Amino acid sequence: MSARTPTIILGGTGYVAGELLRLVLGHPRLALAAIASDSQPGEPVQKAFPHLAAVCGELQYVSIGQATELAAQLPCSAVLAAAPHGVSHKLLDALLTRAAAAGTKPTIVDISADFRYADLGEYERVYKHAHGAPARAREFTCAVPEHLDRAPTPHMAHPGCFCTATLLASVPLLALDLVEPQIYVSAVTGSTGAGRSPIAGTHHPQRHSDFYTYNALTHRHVAEITALARSASGKEGRFAFVPHSGPFARGIHATVQAKLKKPLDTAAVIAALRGFYAGRPFVRVLNEPPRLKDVVASNYAHLSAVADGNTIVVMSVIDNLVKGAAGGALQWMNRLLGFDETDGLTTPAPGWT
């Protein structure tokens, strides 16, 4: 086997960074070179992720500045960015500028929202601040891996977890011209989707044994879903998106409903979904309703559908931290580096979590 590619993880203390670390340390073609956090440079990584102590050893965090210098020293490297929205674009711009000056070529996959929008005006409208590196936007493309055969730019951005689950269910309906453009989405996410810093909505006594909606029809991901669905399908969809907080830690269950353009039964729509995702190793289309426990902690997505002749409902389940973030990003990195798309990502869900 050829030498492993040195890999740098940026923004290294959150849940997604922990999943990136777990996946990179088990990857056959990548070698962890550094994990960076400006809040904990010099601190042992296992302090933030004690469940990874057996594989982290004495690994310590470096600063973002040190990681940037490392990317400038390595002839080629893989950079997986899990920094917050509104921060990542400036960090990556500085890293690419320093690497260009040194003549090195890092390959980047960003997991924040900073490079998901081709239209930076839309980004600014949604996130209420100007983009910090507008000249870099053309170097990134955002898509679910299953919806784009090859990367058209040197770097990629991975969609958000709600977006990934919704797009996996809805893009085939639009691309195959099966449905009217109005699409209704009800999606339930686990508490890890809100990040590591505790807030009222994710605090265990608040969320345990409870279920509630938030930001109905106004969630920031609607614009992202709409734009990426258009790019992936070539059709314009109108998404009425209602997110819910579920009383579990990991996973997303999305239910997508639309009016069929012509009558179809359940067998026909399941066959259409299977045809659309043929050859996509991480998407499985089932005859029965999908369950979160069958995908949690894995990079797999399970879909199923029902139709009554006039209406179609597609159910989609993913792990928000893996398929919806770290795993999807690593899937893109595998492609960008010319590896097999499945390298380091085929571990099945543990079940019974």
Active site residues: 161
CA distance 5 to 155: 16
Distance of alpha carbon 280 from its chain centroid, rounded?
16
Q: Are 134 and 118 in contact (CB under 8 A)?
A: no
The H-assigned helical ranges of the chain are 15-25, 45-48, 53-56, 64-73, 88-102, 120-127, 161-175, 204-207, 221-233, 266-276, 327-336
Compute the radius of gyration of the chain from its Cα atoms: 20
State the CB neighbour count (10 A cutoff) for residue 279.
Answer: 6
| b/e map 67-87, b = 16+ CB within 10 Å | bbbbbbebeebbbbbbbebbb
DSSP codes joined into one string, 33-68: EEEE-TTSTTSBHHHH-GGGHHHHTT-B-B-HHHHH
Q: Are 292 and 316 in contact (CB under 8 A)?
A: no
CA distance 187 to 169: 11
CA distance 9 to 82: 7
User: Amino acid identity, residue 318?
Assistant: I
